[in-house]
Amino acid sequence: MVTVLTAGHVNWDVTLRVDNFPEPDGEAAIRLQRQSGGGSAANVATALAGLEVDTGLIGSIGDDDNGLLARRELEATGVSLDGLRIVEDADTAVKYILVDDAGEVAVLGNDGVNEAVRPDDIVPERIERATHIHLTSQRPETASRLARLASESGATVSVDPGRRLASRDYSDTIELADIIFLNDREVEAILEETYSVSEYSDRILAIKYGGDGAEVHTPTGSVHHPGFDIDPVDTTGAGDAFAAGFIATYLQTDDIERVLEFANACGALAASTEGARSAPTSSSVDALLAAQHEQ
């Protein structure tokens, strides 16, 4: 039985490590090039599988070579792909990710068919069998239907709308969410709208601050964790690893301090390794936490 379903983008990533982000009419040197699967929904799914959580994925890819590579990589992690739609004669979304020497990230890309899943494509029985649904960037109407089906079946819902929050209306989905993941820039985008953080006092709001850790606001209080002292190599996918760690631990305990510490450890380990699919295992997280507690 699938415990967690993730839904949203499935991409193929081309990562270019550069000496700097070029200015207009400028040039940067490529130090390293690598390719791997990407997309927030797929990243969280593989991270959850690495944390020994039974996980399934809802998303879409093309039937091209990049789609085949993405599918094979996901299958190798043990993620259930029953909800993955393969679109004939279509291109899988490709993202070109620039990573500078400080580990900062910039993204270029084409969307391909990573949003081919529409509300009518959703199989309700698949949602009803899950314990938790995690929603990432996708069509707002698709996310809303997934959230509503999950809520009606008694599953908990988390949402991480990502960088498109400012240009898309995810209000229906956010209203149904039990857990909302945002980074500091996305919180600012929410505050610029009609929302305020206080409006989410009846659910869990996790705000990520990158190298400065994260804080969680709950109906019973707030918790802050300063993060871990690491040398960032590539922050791509660190937020997805954080979400996976948070969800995996949240499903096991109501100790929010433990949940946040574990999530931060997952994000830190991901940021200290190349690639969006560098999500940690349970053993590597436990080792980092044990070392931290010994200090």
Pick the catalytic residue: 240, 254, 255, 286?
A: 240
Element (H, E) at 218: strand 214-218
pTM for this entry: 0.90
pLDDT tens digits for 200-218? 678 899 999 988 899 999 9
Q: Mention every residue, 6+ apart, whose C-beta is less than 8 A from residue 194.
A: none
Which of 243, 249, 291 is closest to 267 using CA atoms? 243
Please check whether residue 105 is in contact with residue 99, taking contact to mean a CB–CB distance below 8 angstroms.
Answer: yes
User: Given the structure tokens 């739609």, which residue do they identify?
Assistant: 85
Q: What is the chain's Cα-based Rg?
A: 18
Q: Percent of the chain scored above 70 by pLDDT?
A: 93
Q: Report the alpha-carbon distance of residue 58 to residue 82 in Å, rounded.
A: 8
Nearest one of 288, 205, 269, 272 to 47, comparing CA atoms: 269
Q: Looking at the predicted structure, is the pLDDT value of residue 194 above 50?
A: no
DSSP 255: -
User: Is 240 part of the annotated catalytic residue set?
Assistant: yes
Residues 6 or more apart whose Cβ sits within 8 Å of residue 143? 7, 8, 135, 159, 170, 173
242-278: per-residue pLDDT in tens? 999 999 999 999 999 999 999 999 998 988 876 556 6
Domain 4-10+39-93+112-282, architecture per CATH = 3-Layer(aba) Sandwich (3.40)
